[in-house]
Amino acid sequence: MNLTAFLRLFRILLVFTRYRLDQILAPLPLPWYMRLLLIGPWKLYPAPRDLSRGARLRLAFENLGPVFIKFGQILSTRRDLLPDDIATELAFLQDKVPPFAPAEARQRIEEQLGVSIAEAFAEFSDEPLASASVAQVHSARLHDGSEVVVKVVRPGIEDVIHQDIQWLYLAARTLEKVSREGRRLRPVEVVRDYEQTIFDELDLYREAANASLLKRNFQDSPVLYVPKIYWDWCRHKVLVMERISGIPVTDIQALRAQGTDMKKLAERGVEVFFAQVFRDSFFHADMHPGNIFVAHGSPDEPQYIAIDFGIVGSLTPEDQTYLARNLMAFFKRDYRRVAQLHIDSGWVPPETRVNEFEAAIRSVCEPIFERPLKDISFGQLLLRLFQTARRFNMEVQPQLVLLQKTLLNIEGLGRQLYPELDLWRTGKPYLERWMRERAGPRHQWQNLRQHMERIPPLLQTTHRALDNIAQWEHHPRTHRKDALALRLLGAALIALGAGTLGADPNTWIQTQPIYWLSLAAGVWLVLRR
């Protein structure tokens, strides 16, 4: 490592000492040689008074700069791994960092666009509108009169990220090796998720593509507006997007002043969430209040405006189905069904004992359901369910973690706008309609059409196989051996088809036609003479 990396390490150790983070590590079951390392010069520094361990960790991240701030924000979403007090405190991390010099912003924009600022924009403001961990935003106007914002990645941020991630990996691997509790937290996996997330955010082409898809999904929608992307002026480190004008969703006073229907606004937030997750299988996974506005005008039909599309999530059709059925069973208090669905989906190991898993889920959920539905936190319920599943060796599902984070944001925002919001009553009709549509003939026909293109290659393969079989019939010596091989192949196809269809008739109608063909072909190969 170079001198810069070691200087960065020295800076990290200074912050470690200032906030006495060794006291957070001390309760962990560390081996004796690691405990010796905790007896360092930081012991001579007085511990901060009147600060919880979560607050100290948050302030340490804020002092270490943009990379650690973003890391702390991501950690705050992993409530399945962290104690509640630490996760809650990290959620307060603000992505507000000092802006970099306007001259640097201009230089980077010109390098990326290949033209001068004057050629690209009729007007460009040197004063940034916002400054965040990895980028900052400037207002501008195109030569055609369009008002836009220009997002530009911080110069040199890539090198800082690489250095900090290497130190984070070193700390994570050390923690995994020396502590059983550390291994439970899966620190290397957390750092790896963070690495992927932050480098995805550095690619503004990716963010532009996310915004474009989300806009297409909500084209002409009365509930959500997504700003236009100006592709001609987008590059990997520069994004040009329509400038929007709206009321920050947290400005309750301004929303009430224009007569906004707060109940409808909160319910439309839930509608946006369910539409993204179940209709589109593509959702904005960073919907904190700073990224959401409400359009001016039409207070009786309020419309959301979303920005910042660096973090998105998606679900497979299988995950969508299992999640929907889980939620329905959950609120019917059918805990055995919830346990079985977790096993069927592969979220927990197949050897998990259903009755034990069911009992664990019941012990967590029953106290919650004693309260009125409107007082139940949907997001917290999902969180507790995932925490329980982790005790049964549930593998980390990144898409479900993002979903959980998004749901917590939406629910928190909705209840801030309208405290009486009953998220389940609002979302249940949408969920039931989606499940009916999935099981309906229209969806099945669309599903069949999607898989029709697989049939010609399958027929060609079958034709070649039959030709081979016809040729083998003329070779008596190999006929018996080949017939056995074909029957074994048939048995494998039966196992594939039957294993996918499962024992639950409710899943058969949603199974792809290719598995029915596999089952039929397998039966034919086994029974043929």
For 115-159, the pLDDT digits (tens) are: 999 999 999 999 998 887 788 999 999 999 999 999 999 888 888
**Does residue 483 belong to any structural domain of this protein?**
yes
327 and 250 in a single domain? The answer is yes
Tens of each residue's pLDDT in the chain, 529 residues: 566 666 777 777 787 777 777 666 666 555 555 565 666 666 666 777 778 888 888 888 878 877 778 777 767 766 656 677 787 788 777 666 778 888 999 999 999 999 999 999 999 999 998 887 788 999 999 999 999 999 999 888 888 788 878 877 887 887 777 666 566 566 787 778 778 777 888 899 999 999 999 999 999 899 999 999 999 999 999 999 999 989 988 888 899 998 999 999 988 888 888 889 888 889 898 877 778 899 988 889 999 999 988 888 888 888 888 888 888 887 788 888 888 888 887 778 888 888 888 898 888 888 777 776 667 777 677 777 777 777 777 766 667 777 777 777 787 788 888 888 877 778 778 778 877 776 556 655 555 555 555 556 655 665 566 566 556 555 555 555 556 666 666 666 666 665 555 545 554 444 455 555 666 766 666 666 5
Return the exposure string of 18-47: e unless at least 16 CB atoms fall within 10 Å of the residue's CB, then b: ebbbbeebeeeebeeebeeeeeeebeeeee
Residues 36 and 127 in one domain: no
The pLDDT value recorded for residue 508 is 46
CA–CA separation, 44 and 50 (whole Å) = 18
CA atoms within 13 A on the CB side of 431: 19
**Rounded to 5°, angle at Cα 320 from 401 and 197:** 30
In a domain, 472, yes or no: yes
Whether residue 127 sits in one domain with residue 89: no
How does DSSP assign 466-514, residue by residue?
A: HHHHHHHTT-HHHHHHHHHHHHHHHHHHHHHHHHHH-S-HHHHTTS-HH
Are residues 136 and 87 part of one domain? no
Tens digit of pLDDT for each residue in 201-211? 889 999 999 99
Q: Does residue 164 sit in the same domain as residue 278?
A: no
pLDDT at 365: 80
Amino acid letter at 205? Y
- Per the structure, the count of domains in the chain is 4
Instruction: Kindly name the residue from 164, 286, 319, 422 that is annotated as catalytic.
Output: 286
Among candidate residues 331, 332, 329, 380, the one with its CA nearest the CA of residue 340: 329
Position 271: which residue type? Answer: E
The answer to whether residues 2 and 163 touch, using CB atoms and an 8 Å cutoff, is: no
Domain boundary (410, 439, 468) is at 439
Rounded Cα–Cα distance for residues 217 and 237 (Å): 25
Q: What's the domain range around 164?
A: 96-182+197-243
Residues 229 and 100 placed together within one structural domain of the fold: yes
Active site residue 251: no
Q: Are residues 267 and 379 in the same domain?
A: yes
Residue 431 domain-assigned (yes or no): yes
**In this structure, are strands 238-242 and 147-153 parallel, antiparallel, or unpaired?**
antiparallel
Alpha carbon distance 106, 357 (integer Å): 58
In a domain, 444, yes or no: no
Instruction: Note the pTM of the prediction, 2 decimals.
Output: 0.71
Spatial CA neighbour of 433 closest among 278, 269, 299, 244: 278
Give domain status of residue 187, yes or no.
no
Length of the chain equals 529
In a domain, 190, yes or no: no
Closest by CA position to 335, among listed 381, 380, 375, 371: 381
In this structure, are residues 279 and 321 in contact, taking their beta carbons and an 8 Å threshold? Answer: no
Residue 460 in domain: yes
Pairing of strands 304-306, 123-124: unpaired
Mark whether 222 and 139 lie in a shared domain: yes
Cα 93 from Cα 440, distance rounded (Å)? 45
Q: Which long-range contacts (CB under 8 A, 24 or more apart) does 497-501 make?
A: 497/522
234 and 273 co-located in one domain: no
Which of 69, 95, 121 is the C-terminal boundary of a domain? 95
Q: Confirm if 426 and 380 have CB atoms less than 8 A apart.
A: no
Rounded Cα–Cα distance for residues 498 and 514 (Å): 12
Domain identity same for 77 and 159: no
| Nearest in space to 274 (alpha carbons), one of 312, 324, 237, 225 | 324
Which among 76, 95, 114 is the end of a domain?
A: 95
Furthest-apart CA pair in the chain: how many Å? Answer: 90
| Distant-in-sequence, close-in-space partners of 509: CB < 8 Å, separation ≥ 6 | 439, 444
Residue type, 35: R
287 and 379: one domain? yes
d(CA 186, CA 192): 10
Going across the sheet that includes 224-225, the strands are 224-225, 304-306, 292-295, 246-248
pLDDT of residue 240: 96
Residue 189 within any structural domain of the chain: no
pLDDT, position 293: 92
| Cβ pair 379, 353 in contact under 8 A | no
**Cα 455 to the center of its chain, rounded Å:** 34
User: What sign has the CA pseudo-torsion 102, 107, 112, 118?
Assistant: positive
| CATH code where residue 139 lies | 3.30.200.20
Residues 90 and 124 in one domain: no
